[in-house]
Amino acid sequence: MWRIPALWLPVLLLAVEVCHCEDVGTMLASEEVPNIPLSTTVTRSQILSAQFECYLKIIYDPPRNEAGTFCNRTWDGWLCWDDSAPGTAMQLCPVYFQDFDPSEKATKVCNSDGQWFRHPESSRIWSNYTQCQMYTKDKLTFAFSLYYLAIVGHGLSVVSLIISLCIFSYFKSLSCQRISLHKNMFLSFIFNSICTVIWLSAVANNQQLGASNPIGCKILTVLNQYTFGSNYFWMLCEGIYLHTLIIVAVFVGEQKLDWYYVLGWGFPIIPAITHAVARGLFYDDRCWISSDTHLLYIIHGPVHAALLVNLFFLLNIVRVLITKLQVTHSAESNAYMKVVRATLILIPLLGAQFILVPWRPEGRKARAIYEFIMNIFAHFQGLLVAIIFCFYNAEVQACLRRKWAQTKLVWKWTDSYSHYNTNSSGTETSRATVSLELTAPEEDTVIKPGGSVHYRANGQSNGKRCTNREMDTPRILETTDI
């Protein structure tokens, strides 16, 4: 009745200060672990929990059966070390300290006589944690660089995409199905950029919020994942529409866009909600910010599938372009140049660059370069899409030039009106009116096969049917008029 079970022995040890452990010189004596200052963010409960688990492991794990000399399992104050043969034992650095890099490794030397290495200055058993923070400062600097790169990239993307939406909405001559899909994809980019900036600022860069773990940060994570998925599924909608327009081309009238809206805005809800439920049941970490779980495949799986489909569309479109360019008897170099140009235009729209570099390389420098390039693609993609499919669009440029010419005429008339008398201003008004009429876009009516009427202004289509099965695909791709 008075016997203390062996299980309670570690619990009693927890009442003793951690520094009383046999070989925890790494925690107390700074001269034994050079250049490793104690962090102010040490979570004592984490250390005590790890110590408790280590003592249980020391007591209940079966003894080492291999012959030969070895060092006994031990707790050094930060990490638990198993029985080790003579040599250098290694394991990942602890996560207790903010200035430690958990991806680096701590080492502990087992001497040939079966005793752990002792530091020559203190003569105490010593573990080497110097590698844990050797590159921490550089990694933190690089992480902040990526953070500001993301903020700048998404900020520029939002501004450029809003301007693009205003242009598409202002000019009625740009109203058609193709532009409607562009506008929806631009909206998905805007929502994704806004959610990403808020999430990076309020959750990922706020330790206090992560520690309190409010329900609001989890809702924000779900919204961020939904907009992330919606972004790529609108890319898929663009790919489906373009592939159908160029390759299939079996329709006479316009395509029905209802299914595109369902795919782009509706379908991403399913993986976002499924991931939220699974995360709450099986991996309910703080703010659901951790990436160390296979549950993220619920979000990334459909996205990767959409990118693979778009990659197929891209290759098939390039194949058809090469065939059509060969039929037109163009020079070989000129033909391939057009194909390359069309491919470079399609890649940012369809997101194929995320499939071309799917694996992170080994090595610190190579991985840093990879992260930097991928972050540029991810955070500046909205800006790139706005430039290629709006600002560099031939139709948009024509509309802007006509509008600018009309505006300059109005300014000229206003300036003339302020310098002349009433009679002269009447003359200038008449001249300005005539000039505006002369520079106004000339519309002509084209009767399409099947009896449909198609209006064109100065060579630019302003009707609903701005793309059809009779279009010159290479020319349209070459001028980014997709």
pLDDT computed for residue 330 by the predictor: 58
Q: What's the CA gap between 130 and 119, in Å, rounded?
A: 14
In 3D, which of 296, 305, 241, 294 has the Cα closest to residue 267? 305
The neighbouring-strand residues paired with 457 are 443, 460
Domains and CATH numbers, the chain: 8-134 (4.10.1240.10), 137-392 (1.20.1070.10)
Q: Please, are residues 353 and 378 in contact by the beta-carbon 8 Å criterion?
A: no
- Per-residue pLDDT, 176: 86
Give residue 175's pLDDT.
85
Parallel, antiparallel, or unpaired for β 105-110 and 453-457?
unpaired
> How many CB atoms sit inside 10 A of residue 294's CB?
9
Q: Which residues contact 331 (CB under 8 A, 6 or more apart)?
A: none
3-state secondary structure of 304: helix
**Structural Rg of the chain based on CA atoms:** 33
- The half-sphere exposure of 352 on its side-chain side, counting CA atoms within 13 A, is 16
DSSP conformational letter for 203 = I
d(CA 262, CA 160): 26
Angle subtended at Cα 240 by Cα 234 and Cα 241, rounded to the nearest 5 degrees = 90
pLDDT score of 345: 73
Residues in the chain: 482
Task: Report the pLDDT value the prediction gives residue 444, as an integer from 0 to 100.
Answer: 41
Enclosing H/E stretch for 108: strand 105-110
Structure tokens at 352: 């194929």
Task: Report H helices in 205-266.
Answer: 207-212, 215-243, 258-261
Q: Find out whether 165 and 189 touch, Cβ atoms under 8 Å.
A: no
Q: What is the pLDDT of residue 187?
A: 95
Cβ(355)–Cβ(307) under 8 Å? yes
Beta bridge partners of 90: 107
What pLDDT is stored for residue 358 in this prediction? 63
Query: Are 181 and 243 within 8 A, CB to CB?
Result: no
How far is it, in rounded angstroms, from Cα 86 to Cα 105? 18
Q: Which residues of the chain, if any, have pLDDT below 70?
A: 1-43, 207-211, 249-254, 328-344, 346, 349-350, 352-353, 355-359, 415-482
Residue 320: predicted pLDDT: 80
Question: What is the distance between the alpha carbons of residues 453 and 18, in angstroms, rounded to a whole number?
Answer: 85
Residue 187's φ and ψ, nearest 5 degrees, are -65, -40
